[in-house]
Amino acid sequence: MSSSSSQLLRVAEAGRAPLSFVLDGVEVGALSGDTVLTAILMQQRHVRHSEFSGEPRAGFCMIGACQDCWVRCEDGARIRACSTLVKQGMRVVTNGARDE
Ligand code: FES
């Protein structure tokens, strides 16, 4: 699913198996094989807010090198959204990933 409020638009591989995960307390859909970053940006225009400027961020390098896409699972684990595959039932929060 995508909408005008999402950063990404899926144009290929739309036939992969659907799954659901929880993003900031709301159950949303993704496809098997999506990275967490892709799954989040299919729902909204940012993955987190900069701890320096407060501006919205949507990742930068997309290859696990820049650390611009840290998010946190509800269990407290930090993950790089661009290099982690989303899983069924994963619970992701986008605020406070660098708070440690
Ligand atoms: S976007 Fe650079 S590490 Fe994820």
| Structural domain boundaries enclosing 60 | 18-93
Asked if residue 24 belongs to a domain, the reply is yes
- Give me the tens of pLDDT residue by residue for the chain, a chain 100 residues long: 445 799 999 999 999 999 999 999 999 999 999 999 999 999 999 999 998 999 999 999 999 999 999 999 999 999 999 999 999 999 999 976 655 5
Asked if residue 81 belongs to a domain, the reply is yes
The CATH code of the domain that includes 61 is 3.10.20.740
Asked if residue 87 belongs to a domain, the reply is yes
What value does the CA radius of gyration of the chain take, rounded to a whole number of Å?
Answer: 13
Please tell me the distance between residue 40's alpha carbon and the centre of ligand 1 in angstroms: 13
Asked if residue 22 belongs to a domain, the reply is yes
**Cα angle, residue 53 at apex, residues 47 and 56 outer, rounded to 5°:** 20
Asked if residue 30 belongs to a domain, the reply is yes
Asked if residue 3 belongs to a domain, the reply is no
Pocket of ligand 1 (CB under 6 A): 59-62, 64-69, 80, 82
Asked if residue 85 belongs to a domain, the reply is yes
Please tell me the distance between residue 50's alpha carbon and the centre of ligand 1 in angstroms: 13
Q: Are 12 and 34 in contact (CB under 8 A)?
A: no
